[in-house]
């Protein structure tokens, strides 16, 4: 057999061997990455294979928060390191560290913690970077969250899941639940007989608001409840009244990503000024009128 024929034979044998090995290797890899997956579950296999490549991964339950939220941080590690905690640092918009802690990794290779955005270190709006490190410095990952809305001047009297509504010279704590957005501010107006919510959205979603009747209500001349009017970015929107009691009415309102304002219009709302403020204003007006009248008399010519 000449050298040319020998070379061709060797090439054919090598190609056949490669074709035999590749399926075996691919099958072995799939079984290792996802033993319980079916052969057509390619996405799950890819995600698990990716997990094996990334030594640590971190995520948060949302991307946008206000200044009175609980941020849930969770993640996984590819390989457990004995007696080695995960170090979590949060860096603010001014590149300053606003939080740092160490947490243990569970036996199932996961870790989880929460922190509050209330407090002086989280007063600035903007991007906050949550960075995790596991063992050596090169084993790290990060996620960026955004804080929006008005930071309270002092410790908020409202708890998590409540929005502070300004009206009548005081602050009312209105319970709400939102999916896909956070409420950044809320104001009641007796002039427009409405409750206005400013929102920051990260996706399409819905908000459920439990409106105290003393803040806003909608009633007919016969004293019976009537429907509110709801607008989203000045466009009339559909809503559902999911619950009604003697003290509050609960509305569920849909919104789209990019929407920024929800206005709920009724027939009466808490006045912008409280009773004492109205009395002071009335006294001030009367005083101004009296002083003006006296001044006019004093400068009138006498004959």
Tokens of 149: 């809305």
- The model's pTM: 0.55
Q: pLDDT-based confidence at 287, cuts 50/70/90? A: low
- Beta partners for residue 210, in sequence order: 250
Q: What is the distance between the alpha carbons of residues 21 and 281, in angstroms, rounded to a whole number?
A: 89
Cα–Cα distance measured from residue 199 to residue 232, given in angstroms and rounded to the nearest whole number: 10
Each residue's pLDDT tens digit, 124-176: 999 999 999 998 888 899 999 999 988 776 556 788 788 888 776 678 899 99
Mean pLDDT of 242-255: 96
Highest mean pLDDT among 38-42, 63-67, 181-185, 295-299: 63-67
Contacts for 115 with CB less than 8 Å, ≥ 6 apart = 70, 71, 73, 90, 99, 101
Query: Which pLDDT belongs to residue 46?
Result: 54
| Structural domains in the chain, sorted by start | 3-51 (no CATH), 56-147 (2.60.40.1930), 162-275 (no CATH)
Which residues, listed in sequence order, are joined to residue 186 by a DSSP beta bridge? 165, 197
Can you tell me which residue has the tokens 């929006």? 148
**What pLDDT is attached to residue 278?**
45
pLDDT of residue 205: 94
Average pLDDT over residues 4-21: 56
pLDDT-above-70 percentage for the chain? 69
Q: What is the C-alpha separation between 59 and 235, in angstroms, rounded?
A: 35
**pLDDT attached to residue 15:** 56
pLDDT in tens, 68-125: 899 999 999 999 888 889 999 999 999 999 999 999 999 999 999 999 998 888 989 9
Across 257-268, average pLDDT = 94
């Amino acid at each position: 057999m000449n050298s040319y024929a020998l070379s061709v034979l060797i090439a054919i044998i090598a190609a056949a061997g490669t074709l035999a090995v590749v399926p075996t290797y691919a099958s072995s890899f799939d079984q290792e990455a996802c033993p319980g997956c079916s052969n057509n579950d390619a996405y799950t296999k890819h995600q698990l294979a990716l997990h094996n490549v990334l030594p640590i991964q971190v995520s948060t339950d949302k991307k946008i928060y206000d200044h009175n939220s609980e941020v849930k941080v969770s993640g996984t590690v590819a390989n457990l390191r004995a007696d080695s905690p995960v170090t979590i640092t949060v860096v603010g918009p001014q590149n300053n560290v606003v939080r740092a802690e160490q947490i243990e990794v569970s036996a199932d290779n996961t870790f989880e913690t929460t922190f509050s955005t209330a407090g002086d270190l989280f007063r600035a709006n903007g991007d906050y970077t949550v960075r995790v490190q596991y063992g050596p410095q090169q084993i790290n990952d990060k996620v960026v969250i955004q804080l929006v809305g008005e930071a309270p001047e002092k410790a908020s009297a409202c708890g998590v899941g409540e929005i502070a509504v300004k009206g009548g010279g005081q602050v009312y704590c209105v319970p709400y639940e939102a999916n896909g957005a956070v409420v950044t501010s809320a104001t009641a107006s007796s002039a427009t007989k409405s409750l206005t919510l400013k929102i920051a959205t990260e996706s399409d979603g819905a908000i459920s608001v439990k409106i105290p009747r003393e803040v806003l209500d909608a009633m007919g001349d016969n004293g019976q409840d009537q429907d509110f009017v709801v607008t989203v970015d000045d466009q009339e929107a559909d809503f559902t009244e999911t619950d009604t009691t003697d003290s509050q009415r609960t509305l569920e309102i849909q919104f789209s990503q990019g929407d920024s304002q929800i206005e709920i219009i009724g027939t009466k709302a808490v006045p912008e000024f409280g009773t004492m403020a109205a009395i002071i204003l009335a006294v001030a007006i009367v005083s101004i009128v009296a002083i003006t009248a006296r001044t006019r008399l004093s400068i009138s010519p006498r004959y």
